[in-house]
Structure 1
Amino acid sequence: MYLVRKRVHAFVRVKPTADFAQDMIKFGPDNKSIEICLKKDAKKEAMNSRQTSWSFRMDGVLHNTSQEQLYETVAKKLVSEALIGYNGTIMCYGQTGAGKTYTMMGATADYKHRGIIPRAIQQGENKRVIAEHALNKHSSRSHCIFTIYIESRFRFFSDIKCVNSKINLIDLAGSERQSKSGSEGQLLKEATYINKSLSFLEQVITALADPKRDHIPFRQSKLTYVLKDSLGRNCNTVLVANVCGEAAHVEHTLSSLRFANRMKWVTTEPVLNETYDQEGTVKALEKEIAFLKQELAVHDSLANRSLMTYDPLSHVQIEEIKSQVHRYLKGAIDEIDIVNLRQIREVFRQFKLILRQV
């Protein structure tokens, strides 16, 4: 089978804010590029040669975008292809409070503000553990992976084609630094585990983007192992990097953009997941045969024919035909009683058996 390699698509969604850092974050005219410029410290400028500006090219920069526009841009094509048999993954990444969960789930209070995951499954979301810290009062303290399995069946001539696919909808926990979140105690321990799993995820992405790497460390964490089929495999994959547009979060924004840029270098090989259901085909043919027998019975009745059977010949009927054939060859009878095609075939079979014995 010829496989077509496809690049992971990466989008950036900027959270609306009244205090947008216009002097530090700029968008290209085609809404596909974003530039980050850090202010230089005049006192340290002579001593500091660190990079202060970066430019990133994405598949789309979504700023002041409605939930409907987001779905049309990010998810609609992927879902359409999943319905015909291609696996798909949509993953939201970014710091806490940047809008990941809003992008994926939306606002439950307003229908038009619902996100990518349908409102009907927003209850698998209510079970997530939340806790308050400095960046977000309702921070998701876990990664959320929701998988939709799709099975479709199509009649293809006499066969039944089965299409099986799945859509992974992934809302990752926040990627912020611990010093920014102000977490302590149990929350600090959770943040450590979260950041560690995200670090392993970045290592996997870096390995996938390197064509010279043979080993991909999927087994380093539960998160990367679960995402094994979604990254670099048989799957259409889309990343939405959620960022904040405020100056205070520009370092996190830069980190998220770097991650999205690395994701763009990852390629996948999506294939059509289709099989032909032989058992289903047999059942469909048996149903068709039963219907045709009913049609023949109606036809015989309208033609005033005697009651006829179209079932396979019984042992008694076969013995009767055998007896008639022998009597016909001896001249005891002038003709053999035949009323259907099955009997004709059995008569020829009996003649062949007799000829082989001669």
Structure 2
Amino acid sequence: YNFKFDQIFGRDTPQPELFETVGQPVCDRFLEGFNGTIFAYGQVFGDFFFLSSFCPFLPKRFEERGLLPRCIDYVFSQLSDLKATNASVLITYLEIYNDTAYDLLNVASGSSARLPKVSVQDRGTSTVVHGLSQHPAPTDDVAHQLAFLGKSNRTVAATSMNMASSRSHSVFTMTLSYQRPGSDTIIKAKLNLVDLAGSERVSKSHAAGQRLDEAKHINLSLHYLEAVIIALQKETKLKHVPYRNSLLTKLLRDSLGGNCITAMIATISSKASNIPESISTCRFAQRVALVDNNARRNEVLDDKTVIKRLRRRIAELQAELKVAQEVGVALEHVLSCTAPDRARVQPNACLIYPDCAAIDNDFCRWRGT
């Protein structure tokens, strides 16, 4: 098998190197106003959690923190250096469990509280999410706390392949809005950090009952995701892309073939028993590399600034109109007078309009007086 990737990371790759190679370029474009997505894909085993590193929980050492907390730290540090005005960051965090979306940051009180469901609707060329709570994050500490809360509410369970297997897909989103000093435009962008539940073979995980039902939904949603990737490939690009087949593909619509800069981390195992799954993951990643996105900077005019500018322009035009009206009245009076009267009022009229005398002489010659 021959596969070509932008970068290959070994098991001992330090987290800073992983972030500088994958996370930082996407974060830089995000700060410039481009939508960005980073998602991890791979089968279930220990290496997956080492490499994907979306877990915001505090590791044994601070240097070992994963990709998600490093993206948060980097965005807030760079945002302060930009000296941006009216800057705001909103956080959302949802999971897709058994093809149903839940809000990970909106937990009701009580011992039997359940996560509220989120409605995801397809609007032709876009996807609209209803019922998903947005939380302002004025500092990186607040953003870390929200990430920790959402991760704590995710659905996990033990299987024969992993003691803490994610049974759902999750999407952590930062929405950025700010203005550059002296600019009339507002920059708005989204950064999605997507942690896909690992594909698993039931023959290996020995899933049964609820775990088996979860595995079916996970594998089916990943199958639909792969179908979208195949439809978007440059060589065999189809007119119809089946985004509507699942909630996951609806949510990732912009990230795959849309207005977004997307990076993917494919995680594989070094164990001989996982070779079939590793080959399948590499094939999927190779297909993702063949997808073309159409990323563009997201800028909108600031309504308040535009209104102020238009009001100022209206005032200037009204002043110019008033002067023109006064000049017109003076000229009309001069041209309607007899010759002796014009001689008497001409000096005053010339103060208003310097060329009044020349106009009066031309008018007199025309009338023959």
Q: Partner residue of 2:178? A: 152
CA distance in 1, matches of 2:319, 2:268: 79
Q: Partner residue of 1:70? A: 18
Aligned-residue offset at 1:107? 5.0
Compare 237-246 and 98-107 and name the one that shifted more.
98-107
Q: Partner residue of 2:40? A: 92
Q: Partner residue of 1:79? A: 27
CA distance in 2, matches of 1:247, 1:107: 30
Higher Cα Rg: structure 1 or 2? Answer: 1
Cα 1:344–1:199, aligned 2, differ >3 Å: closer, same or farther?
A: closer
Aligned letter for 1:271? R
C-alpha distance after superposition, 1:15-55 (max 9, x if no partner): xxxxxxxxxxxxxxxxxxxxxxxxxxxxxxxxxxxxxxx12
Q: TM-score, normalised by structure 2?
A: 0.62
Q: Partner residue of 1:162? A: 186
5 Å-filtered alignment, 1:249-328, equals 249-283=274-308
Residue of structure 2 aligned with 1:352, choices 328, 331, 339: 328
Compare 106-115 and 121-130 and name the one that shifted more.
106-115
CA distance in 2, matches of 1:279, 1:251: 58
C-alpha distance after superposition, 1:194-217 (max 9, x if no partner): 100001111111111144411000
CA distance in 2, matches of 1:173, 1:348: 72
C-alpha distance after superposition, 1:295-331 (max 9, x if no partner): xxxxxxxxxxxxxxxxxxxxxxxxxxxxxxxxxxxxx
Given the alignment of the two structures, is residue 220 of structure 1 paired with residue 167 of structure 2, yes or no?
no
CA distance in 1, matches of 2:209, 2:319: 87
Contact 1:101–1:171 (8 Å) recurs in 2: no
CA distance in 2, matches of 1:183, 1:117: 29
Q: Partner residue of 2:201? A: 177
Q: Partner residue of 1:116? A: 67
Contact 1:100–1:171 (8 Å) recurs in 2: no
Q: Partner residue of 1:197? A: 221
Aligned-residue offset at 1:351? 4.6
Aligned-residue offset at 1:259? 0.7
Aligned-residue offset at 1:175? 0.7
Given the alignment of the two structures, is residue 57 of structure 1 paired with residue 4 of structure 2, yes or no?
yes
Aligned letter for 1:111? F
C-alpha distance after superposition, 1:127-148 (max 9, x if no partner): 1011100010100000011111
Aligned-residue offset at 1:174? 1.0
Compare 344-353 and 109-118 and name the one that shifted more.
344-353
Given the alignment of the two structures, is residue 188 of structure 1 paired with residue 164 of structure 2, yes or no?
no
Contact 1:229–1:235 (8 Å) recurs in 2: yes
Cα 1:350–1:213, aligned 2, differ >3 Å: closer, same or farther?
A: same
Unaligned runs of at least 5 residues, structure 1: 1-53, 288-341
Greater helix proportion: 2
Aligned-residue offset at 1:120? 5.8
Identity %: 36
Aligned-residue offset at 1:348? 6.5
Cα 1:219–1:350, aligned 2, differ >3 Å: closer, same or farther?
A: same
Cα 1:169–1:344, aligned 2, differ >3 Å: closer, same or farther?
A: closer
Contact 2:56–2:147 (8 Å) recurs in 1: no
Q: Partner residue of 2:111? A: none
CA distance in 2, matches of 1:350, 1:286: 23
CA RMSD in angstroms, aligned pairs only = 2.5
Aligned letter for 2:23? A
Unaligned runs of at least 5 residues, structure 2: 70-144, 313-317, 334-369
Contact 1:155–1:161 (8 Å) recurs in 2: no
Q: Partner residue of 1:234? A: 259
Q: Partner residue of 2:82? A: none
Q: Partner residue of 1:104? A: 54
Given the alignment of the two structures, is residue 206 of structure 1 paired with residue 154 of structure 2, yes or no?
no
CA distance in 1, matches of 2:320, 2:36: 57
| Counterpart secondary structure, 2:2 | strand
CA distance in 1, matches of 2:298, 2:319: 45
CA distance in 2, matches of 1:131, 1:122: 18
Q: Partner residue of 2:77? A: none
| Counterpart secondary structure, 2:259 | coil
CA distance in 1, matches of 2:31, 2:323: 53
CA distance in 2, matches of 1:107, 1:124: 11
C-alpha distance after superposition, 1:49-96 (max 9, x if no partner): xxxxx1211101100211111000111011001101111110100011
Aligned letter for 1:116? L
CA distance in 2, matches of 1:192, 1:268: 30
CA distance in 1, matches of 2:211, 2:286: 30
Aligned letter for 1:274? E
Aligned letter for 2:16? E
Aligned-residue offset at 1:97? 2.1
